[in-house]
Amino acid sequence: MPSTLPENPQQSLDKVAQVELSQPAEGISILRLGGCLDLKCATRLWSELPGKLSSLSSKTLEIDASGIESCDGAGMALLHHLASGGMTPGVPVHLSGLRPEFDTIFNSYSAPSGEDPEDPEGAPAKLSIPAGIGSALSGVKADFIEQISFIGHISSGIASTVFDRRMMRWPEVLRVFESAGVNALPIVSLISLLVGLIIAFESSQPLEQFGAQIFIANMIGLVMIRELGPMMTAIILAGRSGSAFAAELGTMKVNEELNALQTMGLDPVRFLVVQRVVAGVLLTPVLTLFSMIMGVLGGVIVMLSLGFPIVAIYNQIVSSVVLGDVLVGLAKGAVFGVIVSFVGCLRGLQTKKGPSAVGEAATRAVVSGILLIIVADATFSIFLFLLKK
Amino acid sequence: MSDRSNPVIRVRQLSIGYENRVVLRDVSFDVAPGEVFVILGGSGCGKSTLLKHLIGLHEPIEGEIWIGGENLVASGGEHRRRVMQKFGMMYQSGALFGSMTVLENVRLPLDAYTDLPEKAKTLIALSKLRLVGLAASAGKMPSELSGGMQKRAAIARAMAMDPGILFLDEPSAGLDPITSAGLDTLINQLSERFGITFVIVTHELPSIYSIADRVIMLDGRTKTIIAEGCPHHLRASAPDPWVRQFFNRQALGAA
């Protein structure tokens, strides 16, 4: 039963492809291709041919390609797919008549022996769910071990570098102090002031029911000085400077600057990380102090607007907050500063290859930084509680 | 081989530059179909800038650029996009998209412009990669490839839509002589077997002698073309002594 594919009449005459499918004898189909087998025509044939071919239910398929005058990559892909039996599974296909000038391009579609294009090497294998969980957990474990060993590396780096004037590079410490500390003052002050304001304002309403609004002063003093002052500072620092450290070191790693340092016999930890950690330890308590003052100021503003005299507010705060609370807050600040700069540098040094690697390192620095700050704060609370007992 | 009466690229009285600074003025040349055309010149003389204008990334100050019989400068929107599909471009760094595998990089133009089924697009992309000898690395990320492999993958991507013209910006810069010679062979094969026209910016004299049908030489001082012709011919008898010196001295240094 002969059947032909009608041509698209809209195509221009000189660019037309001739396609003719016939079945001269039972079980033998002949596909004649000719003219210009281009992208447009190949796209159409790719969707039409499989249906036509399967409706013929032939035992062998002969492809006569002698009429093909020109052919692009898409046309050749179609021809190759046809010739390798991709559209007629289980049916032997025989291709004949292809002009010799198309040989090179036609052959570029067949994989030479030894190359397996269907499973290109390096394709990541899909893991089952338990295997995925296991692999993620082992990643967490490896990361934990790396963090511990990095703490050791930094500690030994600090011990050996701080008194070595040439390696310590104090100007670099000052630069970090300025960019991560001084320049962060406005944002830390503003956020702390607003946090203090919000807490005082929100608590004034329930406390009013008990006539206990004067205790807003006690609360704001304790909360801002012991908890939120250090915490807000550290979180801002993690977002602002931890990510900057990671991006800075990450870019250096991508540009092979870290390799260059190592070739010169300079340890990146001693040359780059120690300065940032030292700057972090020095600047965070200062920023924390600012944050405490601004937070308390926010509370004071609310109380003044509620009509309390400034002397009463002062007496309340001084009676509830002792020097120990301020020292605890500053100690927390120092610890958080170490965490932020340490995690930022670690994530920066762990930067992988590729264009998104630096961004990923910065993200990881912020996420791990904030997580570790909260964990450290919880540890502080438990430790101080046990100490009091 | 080349049909000079019917050029695929025709540049007329082109002046280009940035803001108020003119980089090149009054540049005119033709590129014949199937020709390997090399743009030469000292560093900073505007070779890459010229190339960026030829592919329509920047607007010229004045002049005309005709590609395949259509005026690139005057065209806009959809029409310009169609003109731009007639050529492929390989950037100096390869400019492969780092978040995709090599195969996905080569498939990208096919995904964007054709309605072919997945299988067909993969077949075509793999065949282009095979032409540049990279089919085995199809599943790798660009960052896992060496510099020379990245450039070859970029050529495969530029060829994905079977363009008639390929623009290459410094294809052999930073490559070892053997890899660079392999790239030259590839360019010669593609131009001879598939009739692809090449416009290449390069400094490497050995590679110019082995691939170029014709060169133009740009000069940073006069800001225009100072020599045009076959490189062997220019080396022997260029009218400008500076051009002869350029070809000979560098050739001696490279030998």
User: For the segment A348-358, what is each residue's pLDDT rounded down to a tens digit?
Assistant: 999 987 778 89
Cross-chain CB nearest to B139 (options A77, A105, A120): A120
pLDDT at A92 over 90: no
Q: Cβ atoms within 10 A of the Cβ of B105, count?
A: 26
Q: Is residue A124 part of a domain?
A: no
Structural domain including A27 reads 3-107
With contacts defined as CB-CB under 8 Å, which chain B residues touch A118?
Answer: none
Residue spans of beta strands (DSSP E) within chain B:
9-18, 21-31, 36-41, 62-67, 70-71, 87-90, 165-169, 197-201, 214-219, 224-229
Cα-trace Rg, chain B: 18
pLDDT above 80 for A373: yes
The residues near A176 (Cβ < 8 Å, ≥ 6 apart) are A275, A276, A279, A280, A283
Of the three residues A107, A125, A155, the one that is the final residue of a domain is A107
Of A42, A78, A122, the CB nearest to B144: A122
Interface of B with A in 60-119 (CB under 8 A): 98-99, 101, 103, 114-117, 119
Nearest to A74 among B99, B103, B120 (CB): B120
Same domain, A324 and A206: yes
Q: Indicate whether A100 belongs to any domain.
A: yes
Mean pLDDT of B76-96: 80
Domain end point (choices A71, A91, A107): A107
Closest CB to A356 among B99, B123, B135? B99
Least CA distance to A355: which residue of chain B? B98
Residue B178 at interface with chain A, using a CB cutoff of 8 Å: no
Same domain, A95 and A187: no
A115 touches B: beta carbon within 8 Å: yes
Same domain, A62 and A181: no
Residue A318 resides in a domain? yes
Whether this model's pTM surpasses 0.80 = no
Residues A116-147 pLDDT 10s:
544 444 455 677 899 999 999 999 999 889 88
Mutate which: B116, B159, B192, vs A, most A CBs within 10 A: B116
For A99-124, the DSSP string reads -GGGHHHHHTTSPPTT--TTS-TTPP
Name, of A2-6, A52-56, A88-92, B188-192, the range with top average pLDDT: B188-192
Chain A contact for B207 (CB, 8 A cutoff): no
The helix (run of H) or strand (run of E) holding residue A93 is strand A93-96
Residues 283-342 (A) with a CB less than 8 A from some CB of B:
none
Q: pLDDT, tens digit, for every residue of A12-47?
A: 444 567 788 887 777 788 888 888 888 888 888 888
Whether residue A63 sits in one domain with residue A192: no
A16 in a structural domain? yes
- Residue A195, domain member (yes or no): yes
Answer yes or no: is A24 within a domain: yes
User: Helix and strand tally (H, E) in chain B?
Assistant: 9, 10
Which residue, among A361, A231, A324, A341, has the nearest Cα to A283 in the 3D structure?
A341
- Looking at the structure, do residues A310 and A235 belong to the same domain, yes or no? yes
Residues in B touching A80 (Cβ below 8 Å): 123, 127
Inter-chain contact A121–B116, Cβ cutoff 8 Å? no
Disruptive mutation site among B82, B110, B126 for chain A (greatest number of A CBs within 10 Å): B126
> CA nearest A280: which of A172, A378, A145?
A172
The answer to whether residue B123 neighbours chain A at the CB level (below 8 Å) is yes
- Above 50 in pLDDT, residue A11? no
Q: Give per-residue pLDDT as tens, B140-181.
A: 888 888 888 888 888 888 888 888 888 988 888 777 788 788
A42 touches chain B (CB under 8 A): yes
Q: What is the pLDDT of residue A15?
A: 56
**CB spacing of B136 vs A81 below 8 angstroms:** no
Instruction: Give the total number of structural domains in chain A.
Output: 2
Q: Which of A107, A130, A161 is the last residue of a domain?
A: A107
pLDDT above 70 (res A106): yes
Are A11 and A102 found together in one domain?
A: yes
B228 forms beta bridges with B216
